[in-house]
Structure 1
Amino acid sequence: MTQTSQPGHTLFRPGPRSLNWLIPLGMGTLGWALYMRYMMVEPALVRLACDAGLQSAGCYARSAVLVLMEWSIFGMIALAAAVVHLIAPSLAAFAVALVFSACALVFHNEIAGALAVMLLILSFARSGPATA
């Protein structure tokens, strides 16, 4: 559904087909981030096992998340994608910003993640291509 803000301009609104992909993508990312934080990053038993040299996919994923979390990569990518989406609205930029915003909010990059979410919400008032 598109609405007009000015004659000849349509507001950015993801269509039903797009939402069928965006909603599970956002919820799946949020679920993965919560799992990683509360089952892999924070428990002391997992930390001790991984620090002792356990060679598992979980330990590799844990170390990757810790490095990305330490350098605030989740928040920076979310913020960059949200700014790109605000300037030139596209479904791909919206999806990237949505995914990395969810990760940023869970992995202690709250300021950049919240700012990215705010820009995503603000982007609904900007003109953009109508998607269906």
Structure 2
Amino acid sequence: MAYRSFLPGPRTSNVIIALGGFALGWAIYVRYALVEQSAVGLACRGVETATCETRALVVTLFGYSVFGIAAVATSLIHLIRPSAVMFTIALMATAVGVVMYNNNLAALAGGLLLISFARPWRSARA
């Protein structure tokens, strides 16, 4: 019994592209508008706004490589058991990890996502 390789359909691909683009855009905005701006860092001293709390949370998370670890973990889960939902989550985590200073782990996760296209997909039998 032959299995088909993991390849999402057209509608699923559109959703994956949209969510991946959203994650990438969010990461770029947070990095270049909140984290790297020294004026924002100075303005956030002693102030508790949603922007300052988001900045502090993101700085803490990339200090512990959470974005890269999440990208690798979700990519491994997708590699073991392929599904469109897990691929989307792994792609979003990889995009955020690449932008947010977790390049090494996120690049590994991107490689695992590429390898996952060669794995058979359990829900589609030829």
| CA displacement, residues 80-107 of structure 1 (integer Å, 9 cap, x when unaligned) | 0000101110112111110110010001
Aligned to 1:121: 114
| CA displacement, residues 3-40 of structure 1 (integer Å, 9 cap, x when unaligned) | xxxx5111000111111211110011101100000000
CA distance in 2: counterparts of 1:84 and 1:54, whole angstroms: 40
Q: Are 1:39 and 2:26 an aligned pair?
A: no
Aligned to 1:103: 96
Q: 1:48 aligns with which of 28, 42, 53?
A: 42
Moved over 6 A (4+): none
CA distance in 1: counterparts of 2:9 and 2:30, whole angstroms: 31
CA distance in 2: counterparts of 1:11 and 1:126, whole angstroms: 6
Shift of 1:55: 2.1
CA distance in 1: counterparts of 2:97 and 2:75, whole angstroms: 13
Q: TM-score, normalised by structure 1?
A: 0.90
Counting matched residue pairs gives 123
Q: 1:60 aligns with which of 47, 50, 53?
A: 53
Q: Are 1:21 and 2:15 an aligned pair?
A: yes
- The CA RMSD measured in Å over matched residues stands at 1.0
Identity of aligned residues (%): 44
CA distance in 2: counterparts of 1:20 and 1:27, whole angstroms: 11
Unaligned residue ranges in structure 2 (runs of 5+): none
